Chain A
Amino acid sequence: MTLRRFARLSVVSTLLMLVARDARAQDPRLRGALDVETLARVTRFTDSARAESLPTDPLVGVALEGAQRRAPGARIARAVQEYLGALRGARVALGVEASAPEIVSGAGVLLAGVPADVLKRMRAGNPHRSLTVPLVVLADLVARGVPKDTASRAIETVARGNAKDDDFTALRRLVEQDIGAGASPATATMLRARSLNGVVPPDPVAPAPAVRRP
């Protein structure tokens, strides 16, 4: 084999390896759903997440959702980047031992505008229990118009009482019912949270003027 042929083979092999590596890194679910440039940007984010041991499926889900909604590529990439930032923030706040579902639900809380300190306090107060459901319920309360600090205090109050996941689910359902009946989201949340902890009797919440979401 001549030196020239060897050099040519080396170049071709290197190129093939690079292409193969790119093909491995790209999530097959994203192929065909995104344009080449967006796919490359999203792949960089999922690669970063994988390297940091963060869950990648939610990032792929965000990209696919954007593609299904016909969002522009730049918008999709921005959404994925924003979600990756939230995942990182949740992992930092919840600790390196946090499970993937906890990190994802924690990211949902951060994206809802709740400060990371709330997650830190919840982890500190509940070092051994899963916070997935409490965090999902916290994000839900904020999405329904409960002020962030009110919702955070309520969830922390319930969590301090050794509540089970079913208690948080019940809290969410009751608050939803009360809001539907005309109660203020903040009032409904605080009263239901306190009644769950036995601070006040579980009286039905009196209807109050509803507070519109901003």
Chain B
Amino acid sequence: MSILSCRNGLVALLAVGAAQPVAAQQVWAPFIGLSSAPTGPLSPASSSLILAPGARLETSRASVLAQWGTTFEQSTPRFDNADLSARTTLTRSPRFESALTASGQYDRGYLIGGASSNAKARIQVGSTSPARGLQLGVGVDSWRSSTSSIAAPATTLSAWIRRFGLSFSAEVSGRQIGIERNPGDTGFVTVDSARLRQMLASGQSVDSMPLTRIYSSPGIRNFGEGRFRVSGAIMSIGIDGEAGSTLATGGGSRTFGSLILTRWLTPSFALTGGVILQPTVPGVAQRRGALLGIRLANGPRLLPRLINAPKPAAATCSVRYGDADATVEVEAPGASHVEISGDFTRWRPVILERKSGDRWAATAAITPGVHHVVVRVDGGEWAPPPGLPQAVDLYEGTVGVIVAPERPLTPQH
């Protein structure tokens, strides 16, 4: 089925990004999205305009992603939903790290019960390798709606492996919650969307809509969530996919997922499209739709999600000199794309080509003498290339130094 013929409506997405480094070790990437999406399960055939700005901040230790959506229905703006996620490294040794992850979502809601929000926080401990690893997290999950709020301790096991420029990650989390008999507990009730539409069509009040409790008896319930993600790029096509399911003893499971492909036609212009199935939490109406649009970027091609794993980084860097140019080679295990920037590129990012496995290279014209260069992996922070001499930068950072000789020499490390 093509995206254009998707039953739930065509969605046009326009995302404009303007990224800029705040300091040498930071990347600040604001963006704005303009889309059209189905209004909700009550009227899947109609669409509304959605304005969705956001921003992503990357530092050497932390990543923060914030997005929110405003729906325009009959020219009236209405705050619709918001997402905030962050990951920061607390302690780090060569083999192990501890990290704090936190995420929160707000959804205005389409059905009975109104707005709802959820938040998750974990302290994780595990391996530091961006190529493959495992981390165990403990923390708290919480939900809040207009009539109830729940918080419960939770654990998460996350694993990742990076191959062929893609990051595959799996995450399993579990929590235990005591269910009480509370008719207003919107987190654990559901409605019949088809019947609701019939009621609306016949002019009946939505207040009389009967609720169906997922759990008919009180008691302790175990909840679980499995999530599989793939992110990265193959042959200049960015891939960002997610699929998962929430499970619960006694029923009430839901599936969710999304797949978004991005084809960069130039370094700053891309076509993007995909499909999406929401939500990820109980109590919020399910939405399905397709995305199709363009993406403009004036900076790093940051992924639209934070990957819950240590970031890929350049491991080694070497420079080979030709008659009038230099070839910079970078080894970056698990990287999706690698860029360099330096005075010999007029400080404009140059995308390296993948040569083999984890090795990337680019050739640029260079004059004999001393030059400064920095490297960036997967849109993260700019950093001096490892293996090269470093120097203090006049803009509060550190840069790598290469000394281009008067004539070709052996590789410099």
Residues of A within 8 A of B (CB): 29, 55, 57-58, 60-62, 64-71, 75, 79, 82-83, 100-101, 104-105, 108, 111-112, 132-133, 136-137, 139-140, 142-144, 169, 172-173, 176
Point out the residues of chain A lying under 8 angstroms from B390, CB to CB: 139-140, 143-144
- Report Cα–Cα, A136/B392, bound state, in Å: 11
Point out the residues of chain B lying under 8 angstroms from A68, CB to CB: 21, 341, 346-348
Are B370 and A136 interface neighbours, CB within 8 A? yes
Interface pairs (28), CB distance under 8 Å: A55-B369, A57-B367, A62-B394, A64-B346, A64-B347, A65-B394, A67-B347, A68-B347, A69-B21, A69-B23, A70-B20, A75-B395, A82-B394, A83-B394, A101-B368, A101-B369, A108-B401, A112-B391, A112-B392, A132-B403, A136-B391, A137-B389, A140-B391, A142-B392, A143-B390, A169-B412, A169-B413, A172-B389
- Report Cα–Cα, A67/B394, bound state, in Å: 13
What is the count of residue pairs linking A and B with beta-carbon distances less than 8 angstroms?
93
Point out the residues of chain B lying under 8 angstroms from A75, CB to CB: 395
Are A65 and B391 interface neighbours, CB within 8 A? no
- In the complex with contacts A70-B21, A100-B369, A140-B401, A29-B391 CB distance below 8 A: no
Closest to B370 in A: A104
Closest to A172 in B: B389
Are B392 and A111 interface neighbours, CB within 8 A? yes
Point out the residues of chain B lying under 8 angstroms from A55, CB to CB: 369
Are B401 and A57 interface neighbours, CB within 8 A? no
Interface size class of B (residues with CB under 8 A): 20 to 34
Are B403 and A133 interface neighbours, CB within 8 A? yes
Point out the residues of chain A lying under 8 angstroms from B413, CB to CB: 169, 173
Residues of B within 8 A of A (CB): 20-21, 23-24, 341, 343, 346-348, 367-372, 387, 389-395, 398, 401, 403, 412-413
Are A143 and B412 interface neighbours, CB within 8 A? no
Are B20 and A132 interface neighbours, CB within 8 A? no
Point out the residues of chain B lying under 8 angstroms from A64, CB to CB: 343, 346-347
Point out the residues of chain A lying under 8 angstroms from B346, CB to CB: 29, 64, 68
Point out the residues of chain A lying under 8 angstroms from B343, CB to CB: 57-58, 60-61, 64-65
- In the complex with contacts A68-B341, A101-B369, A132-B370, A61-B347 CB distance below 8 A: yes
Closest to B367 in A: A57
- Report Cα–Cα, A11/B371, bound state, in Å: 44
Closest to B398 in A: A143
- Report Cα–Cα, A173/B372, bound state, in Å: 18
List 13 extra interface pairs beyond A66-B394, A144-B390, CB under 8 A: A58-B370, A62-B394, A64-B347, A65-B393, A68-B346, A69-B24, A69-B395, A101-B370, A105-B370, A108-B370, A108-B392, A111-B391, A143-B391
- Report Cα–Cα, A169/B403, bound state, in Å: 11
A185 to chain B, nearest CB (A): 12
The binding surface of chain A is classed by DSSP as helix
Closest to A62 in B: B394
- Report Cα–Cα, A151/B369, bound state, in Å: 23
- Report Cα–Cα, A144/B401, bound state, in Å: 13
Interface centre among B387, B389, B394 (most CB of A within 10 A): B389
- In the complex with contacts A57-B367, A169-B412, A66-B401 CB distance below 8 A: no
- Report Cα–Cα, A83/B367, bound state, in Å: 19
Are A136 and B401 interface neighbours, CB within 8 A? yes
- Report Cα–Cα, A101/B21, bound state, in Å: 28
A137 to chain B, nearest CB (A): 6
Point out the residues of chain B lying under 8 angstroms from A66, CB to CB: 394-395
- Report Cα–Cα, A176/B384, bound state, in Å: 13
Are A79 and B369 interface neighbours, CB within 8 A? no
- In the complex with contacts A61-B343, A67-B347, A140-B401, A104-B369 CB distance below 8 A: yes
Point out the residues of chain B lying under 8 angstroms from A71, CB to CB: 395
Closest to A173 in B: B413
Are A139 and B347 interface neighbours, CB within 8 A? no
Interface centre among B23, B347, B372, B413 (most CB of A within 10 A): B347
Closest to B347 in A: A68
A88 to chain B, nearest CB (A): 15
Point out the residues of chain A lying under 8 angstroms from B348, CB to CB: 68
- Report Cα–Cα, A65/B343, bound state, in Å: 7
B96 to chain A, nearest CB (A): 15
Closest to B371 in A: A61
- Report Cα–Cα, A137/B402, bound state, in Å: 11
Point out the residues of chain A lying under 8 angstroms from B370, CB to CB: 58, 101, 104-105, 108, 132, 136
- Report Cα–Cα, A111/B391, bound state, in Å: 9
- Report Cα–Cα, A169/B387, bound state, in Å: 10
- Report Cα–Cα, A176/B389, bound state, in Å: 9
List the 4 closest A-B pairs by CB distance, nearest first.
A61-B343, A140-B389, A68-B347, A79-B394
Are B395 and A79 interface neighbours, CB within 8 A? yes
- Report Cα–Cα, A200/B20, bound state, in Å: 49
